[in-house]
Chains A and B, each alone.
Chain A
């Protein structure tokens, strides 16, 4: 359990995750609206050298980034009405072993999304945020 007290710290934490991640990996980012999931992702991408804008993918469902010859996909499944919709938007085209995926609202996509290597749970603690991390695979354990 970690306490994050500002948006800047949340970005820094995202950066630490990115630097620990040297292969393809699936992250689930769980937590309520406004808790900082996209902020964490922004820090993650910045640490890998991406300098452009990092927008919430709520409307587009997925934003993809190509950084240093790696593909990073930021999913937000909030708007899915049915997990099967993932087939219609072509989710399989996005997934390969080398890709890094950060998936928000993963519960809306089961069972059509890959299993997580690392689950990040973010919750409100007044103005601050609480972070809980769980490794779900060997890759995940290495990262944490």
Chain B
């Protein structure tokens, strides 16, 4: 069975076709395609959230690439996210499903991320522990089976990726500068500064990264020499603190749940030092999506939709998008 997946919950417009027999057949993301010509030059800033103009060309593209004439269902992100952005994907997805007379499937954005590693050849088996780390989320989730999710802990303030981006901004690396910060940290001295590991001293699996950002600012302002090396050393200390905190919490969650498999997904999961640190410090099977499926994408939505289709879950004709949506109610 073949499923078209549509993701428009935030900035990225992602579309993909997944086949339950043949796997992922095509996927595309707005930022990867050259739509410049259509705009007559540079893409205007506001196009970053303008899914309306991008979605149909992208759908045509993946259908052509995968040589798909007919799909068996249309899956789309129904929430959570920005309501205006969500409604574009929801209404286009539902309309296509209605036109083609196939089931329409609303997918939870977070479920998409959790299942993203299953698109890889070496896919994890249920049950597993999942760490979702992105610009918008930092959550530890127990995944007992498909559709059985339990949140174990989450960030009380800034998400890990957000802390990366904001710290980069404080250090003058522009915004969003998470990847630039990680790059800079490679040249930093790990022994010059020692930053706190927030909330690791008390029990529980929640996170807090907001204070770390303020700690960076105070440290930076105290330096007499605000040179490139100091910047790199602070970046390194910051990154070490974030990664270490994530490792400590995951170790705690593994102990608590006795799970043998860990999945790390979300934009921050693309961070190379995070991957090597986890692989080195945790004696457990760890699965990551390939870097392009760490961030928002259509493939994870097509896949999650395919699983829902196999489990006979689709929706009635009326539709709704959810700006806030708990996966655990």
Q: A56-B210, A64-B323 are in contact. Are A85 and B155 (CB under 8 A)?
A: no
A55 touches B156 (CB 8 A): yes
Of residues 57 through 85 on chain B, the ones whose CB sits less than 8 Å from some CB of chain A are 80-85
Closest CB in chain B relative to A64 CB, distance in Å = 6
Interface residues of A (CB under 8 A from B): 33-34, 38-39, 53-56, 58-64, 78-79, 81-82, 84-85, 88-90, 93, 127
**CB distance B217 to A60 under 8 Å?**
no
**Is the Cβ of B162 less than 8 Å from the Cβ of A81?**
no
Separation of A88 and B50 alpha carbons in the complex (Å):
6
**Known contacts being A85-B48, A88-B49, A90-B87, is A62 close to B158, with CB within 8 Å?**
no
Q: Are A59 and B46 in contact (CB under 8 A)?
A: no
Q: Is the CB of A89 within 8 A of B85?
A: yes
A34 to B169, CA, bound (A): 11
The minimal Cβ–Cβ distance linking A52 to chain B, given in whole angstroms, is: 10
Please name all residues of chain A whose beta carbon is closer than 8 Å to the beta carbon of B136 when the two chains form the complex.
Answer: 59-60
- Main secondary structure on chain A at its contact with chain B? loop
Which of A53, A63, A82, A88 has the most chain B CB atoms inside 10 A of its CB? A88
Chain A proximity mask over B153-180: 1 for CB below 8 Å, otherwise 0 = 0111111011001100110000110000
Question: Known contacts being A33-B169, A33-B170, is A81 close to B154, with CB within 8 Å?
Answer: no
Assess whether B158 is in contact with A82, with CB atoms less than 8 Å apart. no
Determine whether the beta carbon of A85 is less than 8 Å from that of B170.
Answer: no
In the assembled complex, B31 has its CB within 8 A of some CB on chain A: no
Q: Is the CB of B162 within 8 A of A56?
A: yes
* Interface presence of B280 (CB below 8 A): no
Q: Is the CB of B162 within 8 A of A82?
A: no
Whether the Cβ atoms of A60 and B157 lie closer than 8 Å is: no
Which residue in chain A gives the minimum CB-CB distance to B80? A60
List, in ascending order, chain A residues with CB within 8 A of B217's CB. 33-34
Out of A58, A64, A84, A85, name the residue touching B166 (CB < 8 Å): A58
